[in-house]
Amino acid sequence: MQTRWLALAGRSPAAAALGAELVARWSEPHRRYHTLDHLAAVLAAIDRLEAEAADPVAVRLAAWFHDAVYDGRPGWDEERSAWLALARLPRCGVPAARVAAVARLVRLTAAHDRLAPGDADGAVLCDADLSVLGGDGYGDYAARVREEYAHVPGDLFRQGRAGVLRRLLATPRLYRTPRAYELWETRARANMSAELAALTAAAPPPTG
């Protein structure tokens, strides 16, 4: 991963140091899903969607930062990750406009529902981040998400997770770019519907 980072950010001492920091962050022991494997998968998905991005470099930089800070606090994690990008990237010689673009893109991944029409880079990043939903490894992904929230009691987790799945399934389309829609939309909806059915079946019967 360090080699891929250097190819993207340059081989200056500052870029090398930042790459090492990012790899260390993505390797933190409390992570179960938001790991280097997830980062590699997002970058691989961006490779497949690159033609639809306006600034593929900014999109890839945002991928490296989008979960660089991860404490399991949705929204807050993305905000802190955006601030990390704002603080670190200028030292690597990244132009100010691109740094701002990276921070904006990182913030979009908090909910994937604030994309403005015509935001090609935002669409590519969000689609890449959600590509796991339409992949063969969905079951492993779901299990790892549960591990990251092991501190949440089962009933509360099922309720919260089911809410997330219902919200995603209610959207007219999960993927904004034509290529991602073609690649993953149908399988993602089937995967999430199956998980939602399992969560519902596992829920305790109502009382009273």
Distance separating alpha carbons of residues 109 and 50, to the nearest angstrom: 18
DSSP 49: H
Asked whether residue 203 carries a pLDDT value surpassing 80, the answer given is no
Mean pLDDT, to the nearest integer, of 67-84?
A: 93
**Spatial CB neighbours of 20, under 8 Å, sequence gap ≥ 6:** 2
CA neighbor of 167 nearest in space, from 74, 82, 81: 74
Asked whether residue 108 carries a pLDDT value surpassing 60, the answer given is yes
**Model pLDDT, residue 17:** 97
Cα–Cα distance list, 199 to 33, 77, 187, 202 (Å): 19, 26, 18, 5
Which of 43-52, 83-92, 114-123, 190-199 has the weakest average pLDDT? 114-123
Mean pLDDT, to the nearest integer, of 125-130?
A: 97
* Average pLDDT of the chain to the nearest whole number: 94
- Count the helix, strand and coil residues of the chain and give each as a percent rounded to the nearest 5: 70, 0, 30
Cβ(112)–Cβ(164) below 8 Å: no
Asked whether residue 208 carries a pLDDT value surpassing 60, the answer given is no
Asked whether residue 69 carries a pLDDT value surpassing 80, the answer given is yes
**Model pLDDT, residue 207:** 54
Asked whether residue 111 carries a pLDDT value surpassing 90, the answer given is no
**Model pLDDT, residue 87:** 98
Distance separating alpha carbons of residues 61 and 9, to the nearest angstrom: 8
**Model pLDDT, residue 60:** 98
Percent residues over pLDDT 90 in the chain? 88
Cα–Cα distance list, 154 to 51, 144, 161, 195, 204 (Å): 42, 14, 10, 15, 10
Cβ(159)–Cβ(207) below 8 Å: no
The DSSP element (H or E) to which 124 belongs, if any, is helix 120-129
Mean pLDDT, to the nearest integer, of 55-72?
A: 96
Mean pLDDT, to the nearest integer, of 140-164?
A: 93
Asked whether residue 83 carries a pLDDT value surpassing 60, the answer given is yes
pTM, whole model, 2 decimals? Answer: 0.93
Mean pLDDT, to the nearest integer, of 123-146?
A: 96
